[in-house]
Structure 1
Amino acid sequence: MKSISSKEAQNHFGELMNQAVKSPVIINKYGKPTVVLISHEEYEKFNQLEDMYWAMQAKVVFYQRKRVRIL
C-alpha cells in the first residue's frame, strides 16, 4: 500500500487515481495518515460488508427479543 504526503497527492492526483484502482493509497497530512484513496469497487465492497453487519445485528436483536418473550 502506497503512502504519500498531501502535497504530493495534490500534485499527482491523476496518477493516484490510477494507482488507487489497483491498491489503496494512504495520504498523510503533517506526517500522519489522514485519508485513504480507494477504488469505487473497494468502496462498494465496504458498503456491502457494512450492510451485512447491520443486517446481522438486526437479526441478533430480533432473536434476543423473541427469546425473552418465550421465557
Structure 2
Amino acid sequence: MISFTANQAKTQFGEMIAKAQREPVSITKNGKPSVIVMSIADYNALEELKLQNLREKLARSVAQLEAGDLHDGEAVFDELMKDI
C-alpha cells in the first residue's frame, strides 16, 4: 500500500488521488496511520461485502429461529456488532 504523510497528501493532492484510483493510499499523521483514501469502486465493493456479511448473519439467525433454537436478543446484537 502506498503511504503519504498528511503534509504530502495536502501538497500532492492530485497525485494522491491518481494513486488512490489504482490502490488504497494510507495517510499518516505524526508517523501513525490516520486514514485510507480509496477509489469509489473499492469503497462500494467494501460496503457490498459488509452488507452481504450482515445478510448472511441475519439469514443464519432466521434459520435458527425457525429451527426453534432461540437466543437472547442482546447476545444476537452483540454478535452483529462484533465485526463493526
Q: Above 0.5 in TM-score?
A: yes
The superposition leaves residues 15-62 of structure 1 with CA deviations (integer Å, 9 ceiling, x where unpaired) of 111100011110001100010110011001001101100100110110
Amino acid of the residue matched to residue 41 of structure 1?
Answer: A
Amino acid of the residue matched to residue 28 of structure 2?
Answer: N
Q: What stretches of structure 1 move > 6 A for 4+ residues in a row?
A: none
Name the residue aligned to 1:33. 33
Amino acid of the residue matched to residue 45 of structure 1?
Answer: A
**5+ long unaligned stretches in structure 2:** 70-84
State the aligned residue count.
69
Secondary structure of 2:3's match? strand
Compute the displacement of 1:68 (Å): 1.0
**5+ long unaligned stretches in structure 1:** none
Name the residue aligned to 1:13. 13
Cα distance in 1 for partners of 2:6, 2:34 equals 9
